[in-house]
Chain A
Amino acid sequence: DQQVKQNSPSLSVQEGRISILNCDYTNSMFDYFLWYKKYPAEGPTFLISISSIKDKNEDGRFTVFLNKSAKHLSLHIVPSQPGDSAVYFCAASLNSGNTPLVFGKGTRLSVIA
């Protein structure tokens, strides 16, 4: 049973527009959520995180929204740039991040110039 789900395996967005990547989770005990960006044959790069006590966290072009009642989070990238093209993984953990991460299967974002 997958506890973290990214239901869209791929997403294409035009350069300059907003990219919205979605993630759902089933375990209500998760209290810390992260987004990672990954290129082939490289390790994931940390992008942004959010604690369950917040519903929004913003860092430059990246904003993560958390809806605890819906067990849903999303990553917004605006404006999207061609260099954003990569696979994005949503991850969740317990105990404020001090436990192993549970990853979604990833969404491949293609930003078209």
Chain B
Amino acid sequence: GAVVSQHPSRVICKSGTSVKIECRSLDFQATTMFWYRQFPKQSLMLMATSNEGSKATYEQGVEKDKFLINHASLTLSTLTVTSAHPEDSSFYICSALKRETQYFGPGTRLLVL
């Protein structure tokens, strides 16, 4: 199998606070994980590529100081949204690469008030 979990599934926070989202590959090791964001009725937009033991690679337009990514182990990558603002409210989804296929987590709904 290839199961990926995310925690939390839903989070509501106040503007200015930081939120950490965890992505775990439960039954396989993933050297590479990806973080996506999905706006309502739109496709998934890649934010960054997370490689275990090295710095993440961010897509153009994604602020690396705002979206901190840490891939500290072969089964865990974290995305921290720092100083969150209402415009950061979105659905964040991670995926983990197993061989040539990406398996996705269930997503995290972030609402910043």
The reply to whether B42 and A105 contact each other, CB–CB distance below 8 Å, is yes
Contact of A43 with B105 at beta-carbon distance under 8 Å, contacts A103-B44, A105-B43, A106-B43 already known: yes
Q: Which DSSP category, helix, strand, loop or mixed, fits chain A's interface? A: mixed
**Sorted from nearest, which 8 A-B pairs have the closest CB atoms?**
A97-B100, A43-B104, A103-B43, A43-B107, A105-B43, A44-B104, A43-B106, A100-B46
Q: What is the number of contacts between chain A and chain B, taking CB atoms within 8 Å?
A: 56
Q: Does A18 contact B (CB under 8 A)?
A: no
Chain A contacts for B44, CB-based, 8 A: 44, 89, 101, 103
Q: How long is the Cα–Cα vector from A32 to B99 in the complex, in angstroms?
A: 12
- Of the 9-residue stretches A34-42, A61-69, A71-79, which lies at the interface with chain B? A34-42
The reply to whether A98 and B101 contact each other, CB–CB distance below 8 Å, is no
Q: Which DSSP category, helix, strand, loop or mixed, fits chain B's interface? A: strand
The reply to whether A46 and B32 contact each other, CB–CB distance below 8 Å, is no
Q: How long is the Cα–Cα vector from A42 to B93 in the complex, in angstroms?
A: 9
Instruction: Give me 27 A-to-B residue pairs in the complex whose CB atoms sit less than 8 angstroms apart, sorted by A's number.
Output: A32-B100, A34-B101, A34-B102, A36-B104, A41-B107, A41-B109, A43-B4, A43-B6, A43-B105, A43-B106, A44-B93, A44-B104, A45-B104, A46-B101, A46-B103, A49-B100, A89-B43, A89-B44, A97-B99, A97-B100, A98-B100, A100-B34, A100-B46, A100-B49, A101-B34, A103-B44, A105-B42
Chain A contacts for B68, CB-based, 8 A: none
Total contacting residues, chain B, CB less than 8 A? 25
Total contacting residues, chain A, CB less than 8 A? 22
Q: Does B112 contact A (CB under 8 A)?
A: no
Chain B contacts for A34, CB-based, 8 A: 101-102
Chain B contacts for A42, CB-based, 8 A: 106-107
Chain B contacts for A100, CB-based, 8 A: 34, 46, 49
The reply to whether A98 and B109 contact each other, CB–CB distance below 8 Å, is no
